[in-house]
Amino acid sequence: MSAPATFLDKLFDQGLLYDSGVDGLYGRSAVFEDVISRFEQLALNLGKDEISEAMVFPPGMPVPDFKTSGYMKNFPQLAGTVHSFCGNDHDHMGLIQCMAAGEDWTANQKITDIALTPAACYPLYPILARRGKLPEEGAYVALQSYCFRHEPSKEPTRMQMFRQREYVRVGTQEQTIAFRETWKQRGVEIMELLQLPHEVDVANDPFFGRAGRMMGVSQREQELKFEMLVPVNDGAGPTACMSFNYHMDNFGKAWGITLADGTPAHTACVGFGLERLALALFRHHGLDTAQWPEGVRKALWG
């Protein structure tokens, strides 16, 4: 007897996602993309009166900024860097021979200036830093980026390439903490509108190794990260579909972003996992969007 179809199998069968043969690397159908852009519109409407600007980033960022972010130090297991062939004619011959013989052909692949963006807000901070001191009102940016995390999985919600839509607040401690509280409440409102079961809980990032575990504990104790959890996957605990993060002045110090008074800026961000939110909707309301509850259709399609 064959194993029952998983949620991922059903998404492939329905033509919502396209399998590539690599876990966590999928094509998206027009229907899947439509749900994502409708969700983005809903989230953008909620913040439209507050933002100072909006940006969309490509899936790569400069290696020096990637290093400054601390991602390589704290999450080397998830990080990805872009490599390219940097050999001469002789090396090229060797490359072709190795590929033809099925041998390792990567000897002349050298790191480029680009790392794959692991979190949508990282490319923003160096841009703000280069502008000089922030105005009194700080910055309030809406942004979107494809992100990469090396975490192959059969759980459809754990992709290697996925998009985050974020709002980022850069300013004083009071401004950033108030921003995060507002978005925790708005996150709940969104989940109610979308009729998805949800729960907000304190969380930590998956810092690498033994020392990393201590960092995770400290992050939780200081309540620096909260997540919006939704049950999505077969036989697994709930999945984080949004996160609400306060970085204190760590990024302000790391990148040299300063307030009008010259002190390091505080930063906070709310991240929406766009594929995860779409998957949660398909999980709870069915694979045919025409059959979704009227209230949900109204919230997304108007």
Tokens 């041998």 locate to: 103
Q: x/- binding map, residues 205-244, to Zn ion, per CB under 5 A?
A: ----------------------------------------
Is residue 149 a contact point for ligand AMP (CB under 6 A)? yes
Residue 116's Cβ-count burial label (10 Å; 0-12, 13-18, 19+) is buried
Interactions with ligand AMP, residue window 31-70 (CB under 6 A): none
Of 15-23, 46-54, 100-108, 121-129, the window that binds Zn ion (rule: CB under 5 A) is 121-129
Closest distance of CB 206 from ligand AMP, Å: 8
Of these partners, Zn ion, ligand AMP, none, which one is at the site of residue 158 (CB under 5 to 8 Å by kind)? ligand AMP
Q: Are 140 and 167 in contact (CB under 8 A)?
A: yes
**Residues contacting residue 89 through CB under 8 Å, at least 6 positions apart:** none
Interactions with Zn ion, residue window 258-297 (CB under 5 A): 269
How far apart CA 243 and CA 228 sit, in angstroms, is 6
Q: Are 147 and 164 in contact (CB under 8 A)?
A: yes
Alpha helices in the chain (DSSP H): 7-13, 30-47, 63-68, 71-74, 89-101, 124-130, 173-193, 209-221, 250-255, 274-285, 294-301
Which residue from 242, 280, 299, 300 is in contact with ligand AMP, where contact means CB under 6 A? 242
Which residue from 128, 139, 240, 259 is in contact with ligand AMP, where contact means CB under 6 A? 240
Of these partners, Zn ion, ligand AMP, none, which one is at the site of residue 155 (CB under 5 to 8 Å by kind)? none
Q: Are 244 and 180 in contact (CB under 8 A)?
A: yes
Is residue 155 a contact point for ligand AMP (CB under 6 A)? no
Is residue 121 a contact point for Zn ion (CB under 5 A)? yes
Of these partners, Zn ion, ligand AMP, none, which one is at the site of residue 121 (CB under 5 to 8 Å by kind)? Zn ion
**Residues forming the site for ligand AMP (CB under 6 A):** 119, 149, 151, 157-159, 162, 164, 227, 240-243, 271, 273, 275-276
